Structures are given as C-alpha cells and as structure tokens.
Amino acid sequence: MASHSHIPQLGLGTFGRTGDAGIAAIETALDIGYRHLDTAQSYDTERTVGEAFRRSGLARDAVFITTKVADTNLAAADFMPSVRRSLDTIGVDQVDLLLIHWPVPEDVVAFESYMQALKQAQDDGHARLIGVSNFTIEHLERAAKLLGQGALATNQVEIHPWLQVPILRDYARSAGLQLTAYQPLVKGQVAEDEVLKAIAATLGTTPAAVALAFLMAEGHIVIPASSSRGNLENNFRATAVSLSGEQMDAIRGRNRGYRHINPAKSPRWDD
C-alpha cells in the first residue's frame, strides 16, 4: 500500500469539488504535482477524488488519500459500514488517513466508542493512519489515554495567519502531534493582508504562497483548495518559498483569533 510514512505537507482540500468540474480540478492538481488529497464523507467529493486519481494514471502508493467519518456516522452501528462505503465510493482498499471529522458534543455518542472504532478501522486495514479533526486539547488527552500516545497522526483544525492557535499549537508540539491546517487561506481572504502582500512583493510570489509557506515553516500540514490552475500552481509553489526569521515574526504578528468555521456543534476551542 501507500509508502508514505508521513503525511505530505502540502495537500489539496476538495470541499466543493463535485461533479465533472470537481474531477477536472483534482486532476489538474495531480498533474501539477499534488500528491495528497483530502476528502470527507460529508463533502460529497469521495467519488470525484477516486475518479480523478484513477484518471491520473498514478500508482496507488503515489497519492496520499484522507477521508473523514462524519459526526452522523459515529454511532457503533454506523461507523464501520460508513467507512466501507467510503472505500467503495473512492474505489480503494484502504485510505492513507482516516479522521473523525468532529467530536460529538456532550458525548451524545460515547467518545470511547467512536475512538475505539477508529482504531479498529486501522486494525482491520481500512486505514493506514488515523487521526482527528476539530479536537481540543481535552479531546486529544482523552484520546491519548485511550489509544496511547502517538496513535493519532494528526489533528486537522482551522489554522491560517489570522488564527494561529498558539495554545493548541504548543500543546501539539509538546505531544509530538502534527496539526493539519484547513482553510489556510480563509477562502482567499488572506490575499488582502497587507503584511502578506508586502512579503510576497519582496519575494516575487503571491500572498497565498507566503501564507502557506509560513504555516509549513511552523510545522503544519496545509490543504488549500482551488479550482483554477493558476491558483493551484501558485499554492503548490509555496513549497519553494523560504521566509526569513523577520518575515516569520511579522506574520506571527497577524494572529487575531479570527475563526471562519464555527458551527453550533463546535467544541469549546482552546484558542
């Protein structure tokens, strides 16, 4: 199966990439060089990810595929059937990474139950790596007690220059847990940030590439989404952008706790 022992640091978010246009966008990304595709049961993009991957002609172990179990599928009777359905929909025997998409508020479904089901999915060979999304430090500590330190490969949360989650970031570093930044460009809004614009002008690149380079230099995995080849190419070039200590500090100064994704089911965030 997939040979990555780690998660490729630059991935492609696929939320909204449905239908033929979605397949085309994901195919374009694979053509540019993206090798990490992030989907979820609730995005309705598992099929387009699988189809784009097949059309690319790339070997299975060349592309890292992540999907997430929806909070509506976390009950014991629903969990494993939903995972098998995801594998069928994507058209693979195993995903590289399986995440719990959201923790269940008030433990309406027992935390232990779905975390053990996640581990079971890995033990059964449905997922090579397992992780979580939108987990707080409290959730992460409960998970570590239950599954052991190091069982989880990542916690995928909203992170961008305006929401740098310093409390969660420092905890994750101390626990040896990598964070994956979703919405790293706040749907393109960070392109208007004056500091990012100034640094981008100096480096001859885009504000988006600067934002992504910053997050990767902080040790995070990033999964920006786009449909346009130009934006996909510019975002991909972030891997070659090198920021000075001074530039890193200037971007750290942009943190203002601006949270873009905050549905009613959100846990009590640490930052």
Q: Indicate which residues carry an active-site annotation.
A: 43
Cβ count within 10 A of residue 151: 16
Does residue 36 have a known ligand-binding role?
A: no
Residue position matching structure tokens 């058209």: 91
Specify the 3-state DSSP secondary structure of 29: helix
Contact at 8 Å (CB) between 249 and 199? no
Question: Under DSSP, is residue 12 helix (H, G, I), strand (E, B) or coil?
Answer: strand
The single residue listed with the structure tokens 């999915």 is 121
Two tokens at 129? Answer: 């790596």
DSSP label at residue 3: -
- Hey, what long-range contacts does 226-232 have (CB within 8 A, 24 or more apart)? 226/25, 227/17, 227/21, 227/22, 227/25, 229/28, 229/32, 232/12, 232/25, 232/28, 232/29, 232/32, 232/34
The C-alpha atoms of residue 37 and residue 236 are separated, in whole angstroms, by 13
- Cα angle 228, 234, 235 (rounded to 5 degrees) comes to 90
- The binding site for substrate consists of 101
Could you list the residues known to form a binding site, using ranges. 101
